[in-house]
Amino acid sequence: MKHARLMQYCSEYWEEALSENKIKITINGIETLCDRDDTILKVAKKIGVKIPHLCNDKRLEPYGGCRLCIVEVKGVPRPLPACTTPATENMEIITDNDSIRKLRANLIELLLSNHPNDCMRCERTGDCKLQNLSYEYGVDGSRFEGEKWDLPIREDNPFISYEPNKCILCGRCTRICNEVVMAGTIELTGRGFNSMPDTAFKKPRTLENCEFCGQCVSTCPTGALTDRKGRGKGRSYDLKKIKTTCSYCGTGCNFYLNVRDGKVVKVTSDTDAPVNQGNLCIKGRYGYDFIHSEDRIKTPLIKIGDKFVEAAWDEALDLIAEKFSSLMKKHGNESVGAFSSSRCTNEENFLLSKFVRTVFRSNNVDNCARV
């Protein structure tokens, strides 16, 4: 009986799913439903099948450059990239077998054959997709000795370090710069073995051509692009990651403060953040110096004469309450108001406006955001 009901449920489920124009595909023997035009990679991820890739970032359009996500599709004589191939009705996919692994291993070998392989002193060790793949597939680049890039590290600006020798040409940096930021600072240049991401005419990054949002750094899967301010201050596994909301504006972007020995050493993206999906601006990513600034105000200050004097919170709040009350008593509720900062969160702004309207009984409330 139970079984019959289950069967019925299943068939209803399939019918309903199919009626919504869902299609059925099979990945490694697992049948699943997905939308027409979902990529194989997307569906595989959803059902927990891992497919390696280097050039894919969910913030970007599918690219198909690194070729590591190749899979076998029944009836197709050559492997297809999972990241760009749309699912079609009754597609049967194998994501891992000897021949696919061999082709992937070849690709990793090729990437490593033009790589300094200096993981020992690399900023990204432990948090590098290339390193992980090399480990997983057990290959290095030594079978294909030959020319390797020998280009100097580029630190022509305060924020972004670029080590071209470590670049694997996944194009993520250039795509995020053009597709998401739309700054057009970098693009792939050159052809063949000498193609590389760069600025126009290899000019240094300055405020004239770059936003310094560090989006390129956030997407780079290797040590080619790193945050200059955090270099040498700890690798991913040395750092405690504390999720927080950016304090610069009311958008509410999330990110991780990377902390070591009580000090923030860099900011990294949280690609699952609902508001910003890992995207940040220059302030959020690089404007954290104030946290440990000597000049930072850490307690309320009360002005006595023409001098500010440090005070306790209770003392300050009492003073504020008292002053507001007396002003309102003397000049009426409309005589007071509040002005909040766009560096506060939406919720804080909301609370303030509620406070002014219900406690002050005044409509004098505003915010500094005047863009």
Contact between 124 and 222 under an 8 Å Cβ cutoff? The reply is yes
| Binds 268: which of another protein, ligand SF4, none (CB < 5-8 Å by kind) | none
Contact between 197 and 174 under an 8 Å Cβ cutoff? The reply is yes
In angstroms, rounded to a whole number, what is the distance separating the alpha carbons of residues 220 and 60? 12
Binding flag, residue 169, ligand SF4 (CB under 6 A): yes
Binding flag, residue 56, ligand SF4 (CB under 6 A): no
Tokens describing residue 191: 């052809």
Select the residue interacting with ligand SF4 from 52, 79, 81, 197 (CB under 6 A).
197
Burial 171-188 (b: 16+ CB within 10 A, else e): bbbbbbbbebbebebbee
Binding flag, residue 139, ligand SF4 (CB under 6 A): no
The nearer residue to another protein, 82 or 267, going by C-beta atoms, is: 82
| Binds 214: which of another protein, ligand SF4, none (CB < 5-8 Å by kind) | none
In angstroms, rounded to a whole number, what is the distance separating the alpha carbons of residues 33 and 52? 22
- Contact range with ligand SF4 by CB under 6 A, out of 149-157, 199-207, 217-225, 334-342: 217-225
In angstroms, rounded to a whole number, what is the distance separating the alpha carbons of residues 223 and 219? 11
| Binds 224: which of ligand SF4, another protein, none (CB < 5-8 Å by kind) | ligand SF4
Select the residue interacting with ligand SF4 from 172, 205, 229, 266 (CB under 6 A).
172
Residues making contact with another protein (CB under 8 A):
62-68, 70, 78-79, 81, 84-86, 102-103, 106-107, 110-111, 113-114, 143-144, 146-147, 168-169, 171, 187-188, 190-196
Question: Closest separation between CB of residue 206 and another protein, Å?
Answer: 23
Question: Closest separation between CB of residue 40 and another protein, Å?
Answer: 12
How many of the chain's residues bind ligand SF4 (CB under 6 A)?
14
The nearer residue to another protein, 111 or 160, going by C-beta atoms, is: 111
Residues in contact with 358: Cβ distance below 8 Å, sequence separation at least 6, in sequence order: none
Residues in contact with 199: Cβ distance below 8 Å, sequence separation at least 6, in sequence order: 185, 186, 205, 209, 210
Consecutive H or E run containing 225? strand 225-227
In angstroms, rounded to a whole number, what is the distance separating the alpha carbons of residues 89 and 355? 57
| Binds 152: which of ligand SF4, another protein, none (CB < 5-8 Å by kind) | none
- Which residue in 333, 330, 341, 338 sits closest to 355, CA to CA? 338
In angstroms, rounded to a whole number, what is the distance separating the alpha carbons of residues 217 and 232? 16
Select the residue interacting with ligand SF4 from 62, 171, 214, 234 (CB under 6 A).
171
Chain residues that interact with ligand SF4, rule: CB under 6 A: 167-173, 197, 219-222, 224-225
